[in-house]
């Protein structure tokens, strides 16, 4: 199911999108390669609608990947913190055991 939307573009938006609309530009070539890698079909000339749909998908995917990267980084910090706490507890336990053995 598709949904038709009307959007207003500011001049900065138009300028940014214009590079992707230029046939043969590195931006358009990269967008086409990105689309083909994901199974999206592109014609020789991209309509404005197709171009904006691809850019929206690419942007959403990039942001989703960024969110996952942040989540994995946070998880790594939490795991490292837990590991450090466990290691510290083991060292303290070992130090108490050794101190108790020396006191005997």
Question: Do residues 50 and 20 make contact, with C-beta atoms less than 8 angstroms apart?
Answer: no
User: Cβ(51)–Cβ(57) under 8 Å?
Assistant: no
Return the structure tokens found at 54: 């691809």
Instruction: Answer for the pair 40, 16: CB distance below 8 angstroms, yes or no.
Output: no
pLDDT tens-digit readout, 19-47: 999 999 999 999 999 999 999 988 878 89
CB atoms within 10 A of CB 20: 20
This prediction's pTM: 0.69
Low-confidence ranges of the chain (pLDDT < 50): none
Distance between CA 27 and CA 30 in Å, rounded? 5
Q: What is the mean pLDDT of the chain?
A: 89
Domain boundaries, the chain: 11-103
CA 40-62-13 angle, to 5 degrees, is 85
């Amino acid at each position: 199911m598709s949904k038709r939307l009307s959007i207003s573009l500011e001049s900065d938006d138009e300028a940014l999108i214009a590079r992707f609309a230029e046939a043969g530009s590195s931006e358009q070539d990269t967008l086409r390669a990105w689309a083909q890698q994901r199974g999206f079909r592109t014609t020789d000339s991209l309509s404005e609608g197709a171009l904006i749909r691809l850019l929206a998908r690419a942007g959403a995917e990039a942001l989703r990947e960024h969110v996952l990267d942040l989540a994995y980084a946070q998880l790594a910090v939490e795991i490292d913190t837990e590991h450090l706490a466990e290691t510290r507890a083991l060292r303290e336990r070992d130090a108490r055991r050794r101190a108790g053995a020396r006191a005997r």
